[in-house]
Structure 1
Amino acid sequence: MPNLRRDGAGTAGAGMGRVVRRAAGIAVTGSLTVLLAAALAGGLPAARAQGTLADRLSAGSGKKAGGERLLVEAKELVYDNDRNTVSAVGNAELHYGPRTLLADRVRYDRNTGRVFAEGNVRLTDETGAVVTGDRMELTDDFKTGFIDSLRIQQTIEPRGRPARVRFSAPRAERVEGQTTTFEYGTYTACEPCKDHPERPPLWQVKAARIIHNNEERRIYYEDSTLEVAGVPVAYLPYFYSPDPSVRRDTGFLAPHFVSSNVLGSGVGVPFFWNIAPDYDLTVEPTFLSRQGVLGQAEWRQRLANGFYNLRVSGIYQETPSAFLTGPLGPGNRNFRGSVESAGQFYLGQNWRTGWDVVGVTDKWFLDNYRIRSQTITTDYFREAVSTAYLIGQGDRSWFEARAYYFKGLSTYDWQKQQPIVAPVIDYDKRRDGPAPLGGEVRFQFNFQNLTRDATQYQEIPRTRTYLVSPSLNGIAFPLYSTCSVFQRGQCLVSGLAGVDTRATAQVSWRRTFTDEFGQQWQPFAYLRGDAFFVDPSRTSYQNNEITNLFSPDTDFSGRVMPAVGLEYRYPFVADFGPLGVHTVSPIVQVIARPSETHIGRLPNEDAQSLVFDDTSLFEWDKFSGYDRVEGGVRANIGAEYAITTRNGFYVNAMFGESIALAGVNSFRRGDIANVGRDSGLETTRSDFVTRLQVSPNQNISFITRARFDDATFALKRLESGVTAKLSPFLPLEASLIYARYEAQPELGYDRRREGVQAAAVYSITPNWFVSGSVLVDLSHYLQVRELYADAAQAYFLNPVGTAPIYEKPSKFYLSSSSLGFGYRDECTTVSLNYISSPIETAAGLRERNQTFLLRLELRTLGEANFRQNLTTTSTTDGIATVR
């Protein structure tokens, strides 16, 4: 044990003077820890410093109230008997429960029970927050006290993203470890500049007083100013924000701003009410100078087995005349609104049910008032999809029952042509095959019931007759419609009016054998049955264009499709060392089955999307849905070639075709929607399909798919794309996709479709970035647009006074584009984007929606968005005035 040295006039027995204990080496640190712990706890009187150490530390004298022990490490311990203090000098480190105090010097006054820390003071509390300062005066449990030159750094994870927030003040008071009051304090989530720490952060809040209440988990600001790069930009006399670790707290959220010639200028102020841990309410009034007050409210609740929400929006318009009158717009409506709801509940380990629905007063409301809705599918074919479902999932089984309602949001959508599907049921069960067959047995079932008020049809463009007008620079007008009565080869029917019900059941078996030479043989068989019930008379609206296809009476039909087949693969594998592992696999598949029946005499609702490429070459049934079934004897032939190297280089190539051997080719005889025609499968020998994928490494991938004519090898279909992430060599992430589809006149596409889409994000610096995207239509299309033209009236009589006018072809058309730049770091994100997109490409229109979007996020404080539409004259969204 190191020697003890006495300072002062008295003796140790008199309890006077100053006793210093020096640490002679690391070996005595433990003894010093316990000694000072006992002294601070009052268990070691200074007058008995010469006693036996074992006696002095008996009975756990170092324990504090509550059973916690104070542990101390320091270079030197100083006992001042005159002042009744104990000091730890030199790299002092004190641990009390979850709290740790570090300083150059720590002095404990046993008279007042106060702890004084000086020099590089650093206090870490139970939350992980780090408090630093020049000097601290604390209670002996480190929970309460005063701090000079205070700085607090706290790591939090709001919404799962770790972040650090910082407080600072020349002086602060800490009470019971729960409330810290900063006098003339600052708050920010920005890291200080490494090279110039004296510079102000990118943003910070300065306030006369900042009160951080850990119990309430709120931060209060009094007489506050928001500074950006040291420049004051906003002043608030008083506000509060939730602690950054809080995800839900009652209060106002960040406002959003509106500027539009139709709506006027306005601001939306959302208020969030955290009613209980399991439910809350958000109310947002948006004050619009031209239309009044738009009210929005959202209720959310989480239950023991699921969740649901309900959102309502509505407004009594002050200026309805800003919109077109019906049927082209909502100008005859005073009240407009919407109702949305979503929910999901777990009924057990394997079952869940839910819904996602939307209802609107008119098809333009969500767009006009810029209300985001997850039910809207895309910006190009605008429709809101409502659905309710029941899903069950086992280890090798799947059940799903759904109902759908489709709401068309385009000006030119006719709601009577939108189907109501209730229900559509799918069941899929797999199990091991019985002995001695083995393999796998699969059972599939599908049921669909669909109703529609009006038949949805279109005429094939090549059947139209046009008149070219010299007075309008060669613009062509269609003279008449050929679909006044349905005729095959002239009309396409994508949806039938009335009731369409179908039930399908299929059982299949397959098993794979591998012989001693490595050849793989997979025999398979399946049996499928379909039952159709069609009643075109059960509808409230009759459009007579299609009555000659089905009789008005109820029509029952059925079909059965058995099939047997064999698939053969023989992979050849060779290892060329550094050149990689090469694999060549010839593939042959033969399927024997009878011809398809009732082709073109049955509805086709779910099998209209037929794409013949490498992904569908070896499918047993190449139709995308159940309304069609592939028949006839067919052979599918192909080969795959792959290279895999040790450094991650990968190549995969495939080539193949399909051959109709016997029976009726299902793809040659098109149905009422002509599905199968112009698909590449309608001839005896199909088009060739190919695939090439090249990935030099995990950051770059190139893939292309193509279809070539079997006789001339002319290109029929091409999809090619590359994605690249070039960092750290080049801070660029980019993608490029090119597609080209030859004309399919029998499907309604009488001209080639061609386009390219590109997108990229380039990081100029680690913080600054620029982004952009472009979609270019390279087709030499006749662009279509609706005009109010007197000349058109000479050729057409139209109830709404409009006529489609067909312009001369153009070389290319910029379909959509965006350009933006921004800044992002650990505390701030700001971006400005310009977005230009067609309002309605489905109708071939040229009107554009051009928007500037400014987004600012101050992390832990909130975000704000400002959207400004550029002036355009468009009638496609029901707006009658210039925006």
Structure 2
Amino acid sequence: MAAPGPLAAQGIPGLDGRGVSSDEPVTFTAEEVEFDQNTDTVTARGRVEAWQGNRVIRADQFTYNRTTGVATATGNVVLIEPDGQILFAERAELSGGMRDAVLEGIRGLLAGNTRVAAAGARRTNGDITDLARVVYSPCNLCPEDPDRPPLWQLRAGIASLHSQEQRVRYRDASLEMFGVPLLYAPYFSHAAPGAPRISGFLSPTFGVTKLLGGFYEQPFYWVIDDSSDATIRATLSTEQIGGLGLAYRRRFNSGVISLDGSFGNLQGNDVDQEGIGWHFFSQGQFSLDETWRTGFALNRASSRDYLRAYRYGSPQVLTSNAFLEGFWGVQGYARADSRLYQSLLQTNTSSQVPLVLPYGYAEWLFARDPLGGQFRVDAQGYSITREQGTSSRRIGTRAAYELPLIGNAGEVWTIRTQADLLAGYVQDLQAAPFYGPPGQDGNWTNGNVRAAVDLRWPLARSAGEWGTQVLEPRVQVVTGPQTGRQTNIPAEDSLDLQFTDANLFELNRYPGRDLQEGGTRMDAAIRAAWLFPNGGQVEGLVGRSFRTSDEPLFPPGSGLENQRSDYVGRLRLAPVPWFEVIGRSRYSAETGEQQLWDITGTVFGNGYSVSAGYLGTQAAYNDSYPKRNEVSLGGFLQVNDNWRIGAFGRYDRFRDEPVAAQAVLAYEDECLIFETRLIRRWIQDPVTLQDDPTGTMLLFRVTLKTIGDFGIRAL
């Protein structure tokens, strides 16, 4: 019995796609359907498509034996799985509602654009699919020569895909590159493409370093539950006994927490502390409600050499804190925290490192008044304790008001007022450069009121098809009572003073509030800009400041120590979309000597970028940083769709030696990432100028997409 033309049929029991009743009928379409009553067989021919649930099969011919419950598909067989995976076969025999299957001449398109081919396959209970003589690869085939081996592929005698576990297991497996076997393993497994988190061994990292010698690091990833996981890292080396690390993460409904710790052996002539080393890094953050959140960070380590040796970074200071903060839109903010520091530099002793407990800050920004002005008020307090050195406590508040006005001629007037009130207690106040002998220990108070009138007058003219030119002179007069040198006040937040165009018009040029700038001064600057129709621009500013008093308010080298300040400037040159220069500078008004010069130029485009820079600074008056005279050059080039190269270097002309250099070579396509980096640091510690025993690194990273990555450190 045959029916010509396309039609749809139902009523074949026994095909179960998702564990539903095997008596549920399958739906199919075909150009022709034939039923043989003698054999109780239904045969469909011509563009056959049958489905039940989310499983779909397509074939030239589809035969179903109602007595045995076995379905056979032949000719261009396509089996579409519920998870979106697609299998191609020459012939397929299915039973148990498509859950069990035997396929011949199989080819598969899996998640992540990965492909699999095998001589045959058997699927059991819709979960485990065993493939014989299998080849697996996510690499595209060469369009000119499809028979050419892909960039890399896995070959195995048997491969098993476990749908429930989302894992692929291989037996008698080998990794081939360009068809040449490179690695062999009697057993190998990896997560299925597109699979969620799965426990198992991660790709190892191995190599050679100065402190570890030859080393091998093997991580193991453990999925604890839906909201937490852990990574265990074991490190073996030839120069050290080795180390063990554990990283734990957990996500809650209201926040997250992460813990990372390790211990390991460290010995040798190039280390500052021999024996068992360790580290512990942790952080967490939790939302209490829509306004408040809290969090913490606890970071400690036995030494900096241990962190560098076992590749946990090379920080100079580790910071721990606990905080509580609240947000009220854009108007209000409050924070309370404590801070504990650990210095990892040999030049600092732990007794000099401060403990900040507590620290608090709150501010409120009021709505604009009918004149357009805005009022802001804040409060701040802290307590700093040192075993050796200055200990202090401080509370303070600031109230500020700003009113912008626009004149009839287009000039912009801004009226600013700011009032500070501070009080504190100091113990063991230390003498400091410039500030002279310390004052008396005990209670102290400091207050200041500043008022300013700021005038900007932007003058613009049209340059026709060349855009718009802008000339903007700016003058500000600031006044307030004299404050003196304030030698009895601990300058905890006001030591690192750099005078630039960024703080030329600030009411208090000190970066913090411990020290206050007093007296009367005038700030003047002129800004010029040329705005081009293509979006480019050339913009620059030059300015300086004049004080009426010769009172020594600022330390030498700051640019503000004299009544007439140094000249400060800014330049941004970006006439076309592919070129930009940004620079800042400061020159002595007396000698014309460069005090600060920071400039970077970049040329960039589609697939390339080149940048050059220069940084010149004088040494800090308190020796917090040395004199620097560095030039830098770097860039990258996207050679083609796959290859990218890059390099970067810094050279200190003052010390006449290089500072750091790095070169990168990277390749990426649809199935492979290869990256190598050569990193060299000549001076790691800017205070001690001590050589870094891990200053040279040669890194290799190979990522086989959908499989894993492998890291090699050669130096």
What TM-score do you get using the length of structure 1 for normalisation?
0.73
Q: In structure 1, which of residues 817, 822, 827 is the aligned counterpart of residue 671 of structure 2?
A: 827
- Give the structure 2 partner of residue 350 of structure 1: 291
- Give the structure 2 partner of residue 528 of structure 1: 420
Specify the SS of the correspondent of 1:735: strand
Specify the SS of the correspondent of 1:511: strand
Q: Is the 8 A contact 1:77 1:86 kept in 2?
A: no
Q: Is the 8 A contact 1:447 1:502 kept in 2?
A: yes
The answer to whether the aligner puts 1:128 opposite 2:104 as a matched pair is no
The answer to whether the aligner puts 1:738 opposite 2:619 as a matched pair is no
- Give the structure 2 partner of residue 329 of structure 1: 272
Structure 1 pair 510/548, CA: closer, same or farther in 2 (3 Å)? closer
- Give the structure 1 partner of residue 302 of structure 2: 361
**Between structures 1 and 2, the one with greater strand share:** 2
Asked which structure has the greater CA Rg, the reply is 1
CA deviation after TM superposition for structure 1 residue 822, in Å: 3.1
Specify the SS of the correspondent of 1:309: strand
Structure 1 pair 641/195, CA: closer, same or farther in 2 (3 Å)? farther
Specify the SS of the correspondent of 1:738: strand
- Give the structure 2 partner of residue 875 of structure 1: none
Q: Is the 8 A contact 1:596 1:630 kept in 2?
A: yes
Q: Is the 8 A contact 1:534 1:555 kept in 2?
A: yes
Q: Is the 8 A contact 1:536 1:550 kept in 2?
A: no
Measure the CA separation in 1 of the matches of 2:89 and 2:519: 85
Measure the CA separation in 1 of the matches of 2:583 and 2:282: 41
Structure 1 pair 39/69, CA: closer, same or farther in 2 (3 Å)? closer
The answer to whether the aligner puts 1:503 opposite 2:395 as a matched pair is yes
Specify the SS of the correspondent of 2:366: strand
Structure 1 pair 694/124, CA: closer, same or farther in 2 (3 Å)? farther
- Give the structure 1 partner of residue 538 of structure 2: 651
- Residue correspondence of structure 1 range 778-857 to structure 2 within 5 A: 778-779=653-654, 781=655, 812-837=656-681, 838-845=683-690, 849-857=695-703
Q: Is the 8 A contact 1:532 1:556 kept in 2?
A: yes
Q: Is the 8 A contact 1:219 1:243 kept in 2?
A: yes
- Give the structure 2 partner of residue 556 of structure 1: 443
Measure the CA separation in 1 of the matches of 2:376 and 2:595: 36
Specify the SS of the correspondent of 1:614: coil
- Give the structure 2 partner of residue 421 of structure 1: 356
The answer to whether the aligner puts 1:215 opposite 2:164 as a matched pair is yes
Specify the SS of the correspondent of 1:416: helix
Q: Is the 8 A contact 1:267 1:288 kept in 2?
A: yes
Structure 1 pair 751/445, CA: closer, same or farther in 2 (3 Å)? closer
- Residue correspondence of structure 1 range 24-35 to structure 2 within 5 A: 32=6, 35=7
Measure the CA separation in 2 of the matches of 1:179 and 1:514: 76
Q: Is the 8 A contact 2:438 2:487 kept in 1?
A: no
Q: In structure 1, which of residues 608, 614, 627 is the aligned counterpart of residue 501 of structure 2?
A: 614
The answer to whether the aligner puts 1:146 opposite 2:84 as a matched pair is no
- Give the structure 1 partner of residue 17 of structure 2: none
Q: Is the 8 A contact 2:582 2:601 kept in 1?
A: yes
The answer to whether the aligner puts 1:298 opposite 2:247 as a matched pair is yes
Higher deviation after alignment, 92-101 or 517-526: 92-101
1:410-449 alpha-carbon deviations (Å, 9 max, x no partner): 3333333322222332222211155x55521111222222
Q: Is the 8 A contact 1:258 1:867 kept in 2?
A: yes
Q: In structure 2, which of residues 332, 338, 350 is the aligned counterpart of residue 397 of structure 1?
A: 332
Measure the CA separation in 2 of the matches of 1:745 and 1:292: 43
Structure 1 pair 407/94, CA: closer, same or farther in 2 (3 Å)? same
Q: Is the 8 A contact 2:441 2:488 kept in 1?
A: no
Higher deviation after alignment, 850-859 or 406-415: 406-415
Structure 1 pair 97/271, CA: closer, same or farther in 2 (3 Å)? same
What is the aligned-residue RMSD (CA, Å)?
A: 3.3
Measure the CA separation in 2 of the matches of 1:724 and 1:857: 31
CA deviation after TM superposition for structure 1 residue 604, in Å: 1.4
Q: In structure 2, which of residues 702, 709, 714 is the aligned counterpart of residue 863 of structure 1?
A: 709
Measure the CA separation in 1 of the matches of 2:679 and 2:616: 25
- Give the structure 2 partner of residue 688 of structure 1: 567
CA deviation after TM superposition for structure 1 residue 355, in Å: 2.1
1:796-841 alpha-carbon deviations (Å, 9 max, x no partner): xxxxxxxxxxxxxxxx211111223232222222222221102433
Structure 1 pair 527/144, CA: closer, same or farther in 2 (3 Å)? same
The answer to whether the aligner puts 1:776 opposite 2:651 as a matched pair is yes
Structure 1 pair 628/141, CA: closer, same or farther in 2 (3 Å)? farther
Measure the CA separation in 2 of the matches of 1:412 and 1:711: 36
1:321-359 alpha-carbon deviations (Å, 9 max, x no partner): x347xxx8324x4x3323332222222222222222222
- Give the structure 1 partner of residue 585 of structure 2: 706
CA deviation after TM superposition for structure 1 residue 775, in Å: 0.9
Structure 1 pair 135/589, CA: closer, same or farther in 2 (3 Å)? farther
- Residue correspondence of structure 1 range 51-90 to structure 2 within 5 A: 76-81=31-36, 89-90=45-46
- Give the structure 2 partner of residue 717 of structure 1: 596
Q: Is the 8 A contact 2:444 2:488 kept in 1?
A: no
Opposite residue 449 of structure 1, the aligned amino acid is: S
CA deviation after TM superposition for structure 1 residue 269, in Å: 2.3
Opposite residue 686 of structure 1, the aligned amino acid is: S
- Give the structure 2 partner of residue 137 of structure 1: 93
Structure 1 pair 282/604, CA: closer, same or farther in 2 (3 Å)? same
Q: In structure 2, which of residues 540, 554, 558 is the aligned counterpart of residue 679 of structure 1?
A: 558
- Give the structure 2 partner of residue 474 of structure 1: none
Opposite residue 638 of structure 1, the aligned amino acid is: A
Measure the CA separation in 2 of the matches of 1:716 and 1:251: 57
Structure 1 pair 620/135, CA: closer, same or farther in 2 (3 Å)? farther
The answer to whether the aligner puts 1:244 opposite 2:244 as a matched pair is no
Measure the CA separation in 1 of the matches of 2:26 and 2:413: 75
- Give the structure 1 partner of residue 8 of structure 2: 36
Structure 1 pair 816/255, CA: closer, same or farther in 2 (3 Å)? same
Structure 1 pair 636/137, CA: closer, same or farther in 2 (3 Å)? farther
Structure 1 pair 545/595, CA: closer, same or farther in 2 (3 Å)? closer
Measure the CA separation in 1 of the matches of 2:646 and 2:29: 54
- Give the structure 2 partner of residue 384 of structure 1: 318
Q: Which has the higher contact order (CA 8 A, sep 6+)?
A: 1
CA deviation after TM superposition for structure 1 residue 257, in Å: 2.1
- Give the structure 1 partner of residue 553 of structure 2: 669
Higher deviation after alignment, 542-551 or 183-192: 542-551
% same residue: 25
Opposite residue 126 of structure 1, the aligned amino acid is: P
Q: In structure 2, which of residues 180, 184, 188 is the aligned counterpart of residue 235 of structure 1?
A: 184
Measure the CA separation in 2 of the matches of 1:69 and 1:734: 66
Measure the CA separation in 2 of the matches of 1:750 and 1:851: 26
Opposite residue 632 of structure 1, the aligned amino acid is: G
Opposite residue 637 of structure 2, the aligned amino acid is: Y
Gap regions ≥5 residues in structure 2: 15-19
Structure 1 pair 102/647, CA: closer, same or farther in 2 (3 Å)? farther
The answer to whether the aligner puts 1:21 opposite 2:4 as a matched pair is yes
Measure the CA separation in 2 of the matches of 1:571 and 1:830: 53
1:508-557 alpha-carbon deviations (Å, 9 max, x no partner): 111223345433322221211111311118xxxx9999999346x74211
CA deviation after TM superposition for structure 1 residue 755, in Å: 1.0
CA deviation after TM superposition for structure 1 residue 857, in Å: 1.8
Measure the CA separation in 1 of the matches of 2:185 and 2:297: 40
Structure 1 pair 618/136, CA: closer, same or farther in 2 (3 Å)? farther
Gap regions ≥5 residues in structure 1: 1-17, 23-31, 43-63, 156-162, 455-496, 782-811, 870-883
Opposite residue 383 of structure 1, the aligned amino acid is: V
CA deviation after TM superposition for structure 1 residue 722, in Å: 2.3
Specify the SS of the correspondent of 1:364: helix
CA deviation after TM superposition for structure 1 residue 612, in Å: 2.0
